[in-house]
Amino acid sequence: MNTAATATSSSSAATTSTTAAIANDSSAGVEKRAVSVGYQIHRIEWAGIMIELRYNPDWSPTYRDVYGYPLAHLEIESVMPPRAPLPMTETGYHSHFGAPADVDAEGGSVGFSRK
């Protein structure tokens, strides 16, 4: 979204944290492991469309271990109406990976998505 577009309302942020088990084929020599996933979830309304923003500032512990800094993940999805086109995506869904510092510089996931 561009900065000229403003959300008409927003709900308070909810942070969810889940642990998902990765189902791996042990016959292929891949061990099972658990991955911790913590997303901040925000909902905003823009142009009559309810949009859900899901943001995880440290999406992959492995990425952080290898490169020495975190990889952030931001998902933007129109939820009402479902998958309504948005300025950055015709499908109503957009996934973005990048540096958490870029998101922080815009005041968080809501500010970053309005950029």
User: What pLDDT, in 10s, does the model give residues 1-24?
Assistant: 443 333 333 333 343 433 333 333
Considering the entire predicted model, what is its pTM? 0.69
What is the per-residue pLDDT for 7? 38
Residue found by looking up tokens 């979830």 in the block = 41
What mean pLDDT is reported for the chain? 78
What is the per-residue pLDDT for 37? 63
Cα gap 50→45, rounded to integer Å: 4
If one counts every other C-beta atom within 10 angstroms of the C-beta of residue 110, the result is 19
Task: Answer yes or no: are the C-beta atoms of 19 and 41 closer than 8 Å.
Answer: no
Answer yes or no: is pLDDT of 36 > 50.
no
The pLDDT confidence band at residue 111, using thresholds 50, 70 and 90, is: very high
Start-to-end CA distance of the chain, whole Å, equals 6
| 47-72 per-position pLDDT tens digit | 999 999 999 999 999 999 999 999 99
φ, ψ dihedrals at 113, nearest 5°: -70, -25
